[in-house]
Amino acid sequence: MRAKIIATGSYVPERVLTNFDLERMVDTSDEWIRERSGIRERRIANEKEAASDLAYEAAKSAFKKADFKTKDIDLIIVATVTGDMPFPATACHLQHKLGLKKAAAFDVNAACSGFLYGLSIADGFIRSGIYRRILLVGTEVLSRITDWEDRTTCVLFGDGAGAAIIEATSEDRGIISTHLRSDGSMWELLNMPGGGSRHPATKDSVKKKMHYVKMKGNETFKVAVRTLENLVVESLNANKLKASQLSLLIPHQANLRIIQATAERLEIPMEKIFVNIDKYGNTSAASIPIALDEAVRQGRIRDGDYVLLEAFGGGLTWASALIKW
Ligand code: COA
């Protein structure tokens, strides 16, 4: 039994925040942001929208494309670092909104690699015969944990959600292999220190801005390029494939220069790499499923194509998934 993605969906909030808007908020420029990151604009959730609301819209758009009743979903996995609340899981809020009474629900926290960690879990449940139909959603409202006075981070992130419905199949296609990695010794490169049991919310934690993303961008950049190259090579070797046999590489959209550097090292032409960072910035766990949904809608993935998904993020974590579409 294999696991196959039978439908995708995505949702981004209406409000667009451009680089020019950011010029009026912090000491930055459209030119700097575009040259260093490839980002032109990003979406920002309205004050009533939480992670499960974005997830709900993305899931609905995926269900519209799947030809079975939503009640048949066995499991909901949500990947997020900006869930509605510390608990219960955002997946439970989503289950309630969708009215999927039969489904189990839980969240995965692997930061920007969260969707691929979730995909690997879904693949395992389906291959082992435990579940047949799984809804996987990556959703983030990063604007709520962004320090809008810190120009080194606030220009990079955005909000959005992407969903995939994964089903058991006996066909020779679907998820071929997933590869998960982590290195907790580098946790300080990318984190949000406040709000957990180490530094619970206090007046002092708020004053010290501990409830915002902290990132050592330059160091993170170097680790990302090195680890992603190795991971893509490992994923291809494990399946005796060459990079030239890939029809499309969908990388996590964190920085266009990371994407270009990885492509160059792997000798994969940019035409075979999906890029939409210019429109949305880094949406963490939502980035890959939004890109996957856009790639499907743009007709860039056909039946039988080999597609490789890869991500890198806080933890540090990194992950890939090879799919025969
Ligand atoms: N506008 C203008 N200048 C800025 C700026 C901004 N928004 N942010 C930082 N700068 C300045 C810095 O203060 C620094 O100035 P200095 O040389 O006078 O000290 C200079 O630009 C260069 O900063 P640096 O951090 O070295 O830039 P960079 O080339 O590494 O680019 C990032 C910064 C954040 C775009 C880049 O490091 C990055 O994308 N890193 C990885 C991010 C990532 O992938 N994170 C998530 C993984 S999921």
Q: Atom 47 of ligand 1 has which residue's CA nearest to it?
A: 313
How many domains would you assign to the chain? 2
Single out the residue in 172, 195, 216 at which a domain terminates.
Answer: 172
User: Which atom of ligand 1 is the closest one to the Cα of 252?
Assistant: 48
The residue from 140, 172, 204 where one domain ends is 172
How remote is the CA of residue 318 from the centroid of ligand 1, in Å? 21
Distance CA 54, CA 158 (A): 12
Residue 163 and residue 233 share a domain: no
Q: Best of 145, 218, 318 to mutate for ligand 1, by most ligand atoms within 8 A of CB?
A: 218
Q: Apex CA 85: angle with CA 80 and CA 87, to 5°?
A: 90
Does 36 contact ligand 1 (Cβ within 6 A)?
Answer: yes
Q: State whether 20 and 167 are in the same domain.
A: yes
Beta bridge partners of 318: 181, 312
CA distances from 196 to 117, 203, 249 (A): 22, 14, 35
The amino acid present at 22, given as its one-letter code, is L
Are the C-beta atoms of residues 81 and 113 closer than 8 Å to each other?
no
Region of 267 on the Ramachandran plot (φ > 0 left; ψ -120 to 50 alpha; else beta): left
pLDDT in the model for residue 304: 95
pLDDT for position 71: 76
| Dist CA 5 CA 167 (whole Å) | 6
Last residue of a domain, one of 154, 172, 190: 172
Is 312's C-beta closer than 6 angstroms to any atom of ligand 1? Answer: yes
Distances (CA, A) of 242 to 210, 234, 236, 262: 44, 11, 6, 15
Q: What CATH number did the domain enclosing 25 receive?
A: 3.40.47.10
Q: Which of 17, 30, 36, 81 to mutate to test the pocket of ligand 1 (most atoms within 8 A of CB)?
A: 36
195 shares a domain with 54:
no
Given a contact cutoff of 8 angstroms between Cβ atoms, the answer to whether 120 and 180 are in contact is: yes
Co-location of 143 and 195 in the same domain = no
Residue nearest to atom 24 of ligand 1 (CA): 218
Distance 201 CA to ligand 1 centre (A): 28
Q: How does 273-295 read in b/e, with b if 16+ C-beta sit within 10 Å?
A: bbbbbebbbbbbbbbbbbbbbbb
Query: Token pair of 224, please?
Result: 């990302």
10 and 102 share a domain?
A: yes
Q: State the residue range of the domain holding 149.
A: 2-172
Contacts of 287 (CB under 8 A, 6+ apart): 112, 115, 138, 160, 162, 252, 253, 254, 280, 311
Contact 312, 103 (CB under 8 A): no
Determine whether 252 is an active site residue: yes
Question: pLDDT of the chain along its 325 residues, tens only?
Answer: 899 999 999 999 999 999 999 999 999 999 999 999 999 999 999 999 999 999 999 999 999 998 777 778 999 999 999 999 999 999 999 999 999 989 999 999 999 999 999 999 999 999 999 999 999 999 999 999 999 999 999 999 999 999 999 999 999 999 999 999 999 999 999 999 999 999 999 999 999 999 999 999 999 999 999 999 999 999 999 999 999 999 999 999 999 999 999 999 899 999 999 999 999 999 999 999 999 999 999 999 999 999 999 999 999 999 999 999 9
* 152 CA → ligand 1 middle, Å: 6
In terms of domains, do 271 and 316 share one?
A: yes
Give the Cα separation of 215 and 220 in Å (integer): 8
Residue that has been written with the tokens 């004053």 in this structure:
207
For residues 300 and 313, membership in a common domain is answered with yes
Judgement on whether residues 154 and 7 belong to the same structural domain of the protein: yes
Compute the radius of gyration of the chain from its Cα atoms: 19
Residue 286 Cβ contacting ligand 1 at under 6 Å? no
Q: Model-level pTM greater than 0.95?
A: yes
Same domain, 65 and 147: yes
* 143 and 225 inside one domain: no
Q: Clarify whether residues 168 and 180 are in a common domain.
A: no
- Based on the domain organization, do 181 and 227 belong to the same domain? yes
Contact 77, 137 (CB under 8 A): yes
